[in-house]
Structure 1
Amino acid sequence: MTGTVSRRSVLAAAAAGTAAGITRWEPASATPGSGGAGLIAVTGVSVIDAVGGARRDQNVLVRGGRVLAAGHLRRTPVPDGARVVDGRGGFLIPGLADMHTHATEIDPTDPEMYVVNGVTTTRQMSSSETVRGWRKEIEAGTRLGPRWTVGSAIVDGSPSLWEGLGAPYVAVADAPQARAAVRRQRQAGAEFIKTYTRLSRAAFHAIATESRRLGIPFLGHVPDLVPVTEASDAGLGSIEHLFEFWYDTSHDERRLRREIARTHIDGGDYAGWFTTLHPLEYAAARSYDQHKAGRVFERLARNGTPVTPTLVMHRTADVPQDIAHDDPRFKYVSADTLAYWQWATQNIYLKGRTPRESKERRELIGLRTRLAGALAEAGVPLMTGTDLGTAYLMPGFSLHDELEQLVLAGLSPAQALGAATLEPARHLGHRDAGAVARGNVADLVLLDADPLLDIRNTTRINSVFVRGQLIDPPARARMLAEIEAAAGNRPATGVLPMGAGCACHGGTRRA
């Protein structure tokens, strides 16, 4: 594959794809009647959320994008004329959240892919004009999609791992440049500042100080040169991924940090960072000190610093050879997306990998999974996130995979659901979300099976409410068919767009 693609051509292709395959949403109207006009009632359903636990035989009334009432069916009558959704035998949960996304911009159907999978809240971890455009359409009611929080361009050290890779980034060499970057990104409309891997300690703390002064959250990667506890104490809004925890929890921390400080990574060499630091990360993981870890986790819990483990990303990065390339869900992505995934796997994750490293990384993914469970057990808030943009991850679908990984890590299904609903709502300051309660936004998912018995039942989706708009089974089937057709009808361009990949773990290149 050769050639380049401009940002304009990528956006034009996205618009064309939408016009070709995805219809504008036309909400079904409620049956007119006294007291029930515009009202939808889910009747006799079991409600599950992280606030009230599980409640059986509930009626939930939705109107005007809000939950009008929710309670036992004997105390919550259904007004005449309401549209009734029979919830008997079903389970109603709050809409799910993916708190670590990088919309790929290769395919134009991310918003629809999210909501058809019950994901009604997303956090874009890097600046994106495309996502801002989607958000305008969603807020105008002309397109169905999640509530989207959009961050700044990546703020990295100098040299930056993102040099020449196409994603929006700012390289800062010192504290004054870091403070200036915060001011510029806030002025540009960022809702939070995204910190990255190669920031110096001085630059990181300058970001913290300036962000607090301006009242804008800062969150993201814990830089290589900053301890996790130090970042938490400085007010980092959330910790993304599990890379840096091993050093804080190692009995050999001092030596390992000296080695990190001596390690040089060229600008734009993300694959080099990934492979060069692997021996140090592996040594840190193998020298894990449980008592030291307990003190670290206690500090994070006390500070209320949430962690987004992104275990599905770590699986792709650590054991890409285990990814099934015949996943039937891949029919919902285009040939260009599949080509990017194949390129990224060979040129980022497997580049220069030896059999020894592959063996060590297989051990590491098991250790990371146990680490996520230990964080939860210690009371550290966890949030679900996928790192969409990483190879073989899909909007919406992969959030359910992350829920399954969290349960494998030791969380109960109820805890995993809380990490996907209530914790994200708290983090984003959405007091009207994360639970099925009167007055809350009507972002809801009706399931055909109990997720508390098996977390994989979150994939047994019957219907989805997005701001009160009901996507019933026929509408959901139609949307999935349209997404599949749009992906299949998009001709392969033979080009991998620069910067279209994950802004955490490598952008695209010419292949």
Structure 2
Amino acid sequence: MKINRLQGIVLSAVCLFAVQTWAQASAQLPVPDLALRGARVYANPQAAPIDNAVVLIHDGHIAAVSSASALTVPSGVRVLDCSGKIIVAGFWNSHVHFETGWDDAAHAPVAQLEGHLQQMLTRWGFTTVWDLGSVPENTLALRSRIESGEIPGPQILMAGDIFPLHGHPVYLPASLQLPEAATPDQAREMAERYLHIPLDGIKLFTGAFMGDAPVINMPEPIAAAAVDVAHAQHKPVFAHPQNYAGVDNALAAGVDILAHTIPTENGFTPAELARMKQQHSALIPTLTLWTTVVHNPAVSAHLVDSGVSELKSWAAAGGTVLFGTDVGFQSVYDTTQEYQFMGRALGWREILASLTTAPSDYFHQPQKGRIEPGSVADLVVLDGDPATDVANLARVHTAIRGGRVIYEETPAR
């Protein structure tokens, strides 16, 4: 991503039109009424289940949810038979990337983009996602086409990346020109440009992995300058740490969310956990990632074990956990393993919260994350109960966003 390219985006009438379309188009399209009948419903992660339930959807929102014996489906409403299934609120994936396969998203065929979205996201129940780094032109165009109703897909929130000086991670192509901030003023300017596009947040590489060379950490004053800009506009800031220094600088700067654990270290320190609790920080574990970045199974297992331990200590200290997989950078689309890894540290209700109520509340979208009258009708229909096996969260039969089906399992022939 080139800085002059970023400036061009800010001035581009095409991108401005895309943003306007994204903001307006959904309201222009009528949403047919829908009823889901016969499932067990978990209205929120703490709620007791409602068996043989009916969920009524009107104008893209939940109109009612109750047992079938207490709620009659109005005539003329399309009914989805969900007998034997489970219904929960729509899932958030708070760490994705629209990197590979999204080129020229403004003009790519609908079927191509819809298929890719299904493989990567909607097939796994994701109705809202945070893109933590991609080419903005492509992702803005994709977002616009989704919001216009042309392509079924999730709500896409976007963060712009800022790297430390000379902090070009070894896993990114050397030819890629990254936005590196050498001073607080540069970080401030970059953050302002991103939010002017407008993107929805900022991501700081407070630690850049340099292979055999030492990690390059972003100095706290540089991180703080970007944080100040984002927080002045009530936008969140994510941090990509690599070690203790990256975590400490991020927390000192006031960063909101750590986008990864730091499994090469020996767990978060007591001081980090205390500061995290004080600042109401959040953590995205991305545990499956550690199985993809190294080829030695023993090393991968150690990294996962360390990440699980850090997740457990974070949750025990009262930290907010947000589900995320780094998918798009890594190519394991299936979320089963991530749920199983998280299940070694958290209960199924906590994992469900990381997918629903926790991000909805943390990112100030309280109309999502719960199945209750007035809420946005973002729903996931599952083929199995997560109360009996957390891996059932990956057994998605249907995903619904704003009352519209954006993924439906094809019956086996």
**2-structure distance, mates of 1:389, 1:38:** 32
In structure 1, what is the equivalent of residue 302 of structure 2? 363
Distance 2:296 2:101 in 1: 24
Shift of 1:135: 0.8
Residue in 1 aligned with 2:332? 393
Runs of 4+, deviation exceeding 6 Å = none
* Cα pair 1:138 1:145 within 8 Å, conserved: yes
In structure 2, the CA distance between the partners of 1:52 and 1:166, relative to structure 1 (3 Å rule), is farther
Is 1:233–1:303's contact at 8 Å kept on the other side of the alignment? no
More off after superposition, 457-466 vs 194-203: 457-466
Cα distance in 2 for partners of 1:164, 1:364 equals 24
- Distance in structure 2 (CA, Å) of the matches to 1:233 and 1:199: 12
Matched, 1:212 2:223: no
Aligned residue for 1:110? 116
Relative to structure 1, the CA distance from residue 211 to residue 40 in structure 2 (aligned partners, 3 Å threshold; closer, same or farther) is closer
Task: Tell me the CA shift for residue 229 of structure 1.
Answer: 5.0
1:132 aligns with 2:140: yes
Aligned residues: 359
**Residue 415 of structure 1: CA displacement?**
0.9
d(CA) in 2 for partners of 1:112, 1:166: 30
Distance in 2 (CA, whole Å) between partners of 1:364 and 1:86 is 43
Gaps of 5+ in 2: 6-29, 103-112, 208-216
Measure the CA separation in 1 of the matches of 2:81 and 2:95.
34
Cα shift at 1:170: 1.1
* Equivalent residue, structure 1, for 2:157: 149
- 1:180 pairs with one of 177, 189, 196: 189
CA distance in 2, matches of 1:440, 1:448: 23
CA RMSD of aligned residues (A): 2.8
| Cα offset, 1:390, TM superposition | 3.4
Higher RCO (C-alpha under 8 Å, 6+ residues apart): 1
Q: Deviations over 1:223-250 (max 9, x none)?
A: 758463553354312111112xx7xxxx
What's the CA shift for 1:101? Answer: 0.7
1:407 aligns with 2:343: yes
The answer on whether the counterparts of 1:199 and 1:224 sit within 8 Å (CA) in structure 2 is: no
Structure 1 pair 138/168, CA: closer, same or farther in 2 (3 Å)? farther
Distance 2:405 2:151 in 1: 13
Identity %: 22
Compute the TM-score of the two structures, normalised by the length of structure 2. 0.79
Contact 2:94 2:324 in 1 (8 A): yes
Q: 1:413 touches 1:452 (CA, 8 Å); kept in 2?
A: yes
**Structure 2 vs 1, CA of residues 167 and 401 (structure 1 numbering), >3 Å: closer, same or farther?**
farther
- The answer to whether 1:381 aligns with 2:390 is no
The structure with the largest strand share of the pair is 2
Q: 1:229 to 1:172 in 2, by over 3 A?
A: closer
Which one has the largest radius of gyration? 1
- Aligned-residue offset at 1:188: 2.5
Secondary structure of 1:85's match? strand
Q: For 1:50-449, what aligned pairs fall within 5 Å after superposition?
A: 50-106=45-101, 108=113, 109-113=115-119, 114-127=121-134, 128-152=136-160, 154-161=161-168, 165=174, 169-196=178-205, 197=207, 198-222=217-241, 226=245, 228-229=247-248, 231-243=250-262, 281=264, 284-285=265-266, 293-318=269-294, 320-322=295-297, 359=298, 362-394=301-333, 397=334, 399-408=335-344, 410-449=345-384
Please report how far the alpha carbon of residue 470 of structure 1 lies from its aligned counterpart in structure 2 after TM superposition. 2.8
Q: Secondary structure at the match of 2:55?
A: strand
**Counterpart Cα distance in 2 of 1:378 and 1:430:** 25
Cα contact 2:223–2:253 (8 A) shared by 1? no
Report if aligned partners of 2:181, 2:222 keep a CA contact under 8 Å in 1: yes
8 Å CA contact 1:157, 1:173 repeated in 2: yes
Cα 1:61–1:217 change in 2 (3 A) is same
Q: State the 1:437 CA deviation.
A: 1.3
Q: For 1:188 and 1:212, how far apart are their aligned partners in 2?
A: 16
TM-aligned CA deviation for residue 122 of structure 1: 0.7
Separation (CA, whole Å) in 2 of partners of 1:164 and 1:447: 39
Q: Call closer, same or farther: CA 1:167–1:140 in 2, change over 3 Å.
A: farther
Q: Distance in 1 between matches of 2:138 and 2:229?
A: 28
Deviation of 1:219 after TM superposition, in Å, equals 1.6
Q: Is the 8 A contact 1:51 1:435 kept in 2?
A: no
> Please, which of 477, 483, 486 is the counterpart of residue 410 of structure 2?
477
| Matched residue type, 2:45 | A
TM-score for the superposition, normalised by structure 1: 0.64
Structure 1: state its 5+ residue gaps. 1-6, 8-29, 31-36, 247-280, 323-358, 482-511
Asked if the contact 1:229/1:300 (under 8 Å) is kept, the reply is no
| Residues 60 and 182 (structure 1), Cα distance of their counterparts in 2 relative to 1, 3 Å cut | same
In the superposition, relative to structure 1, how do residues 166 and 220 fare at CA in structure 2: closer, same or farther (>3 Å)? farther
In proportion to residue count, which structure has more helix?
1
Q: How has the CA–CA distance of structure 1 residues 361 and 457 changed in structure 2, closer, same or farther, with 3 Å as cutoff?
A: closer
Distance of 1:98 and 1:168 partners within structure 2: 27
Following the alignment from structure 1 to structure 2, what is the Cα–Cα distance between the partners of residues 429 and 90? Answer: 30
TM-aligned CA distance change 1:311 to 1:66, over 3 Å: same
CA drift of 1:321 comes to 4.5
> Contact conserved, 1:126 with 1:168, CA < 8 A, in 2?
no
Segment drifting more, 215-224 vs 461-470: 215-224
TM-superposed CA distance for 1:382, in Å, is 0.7
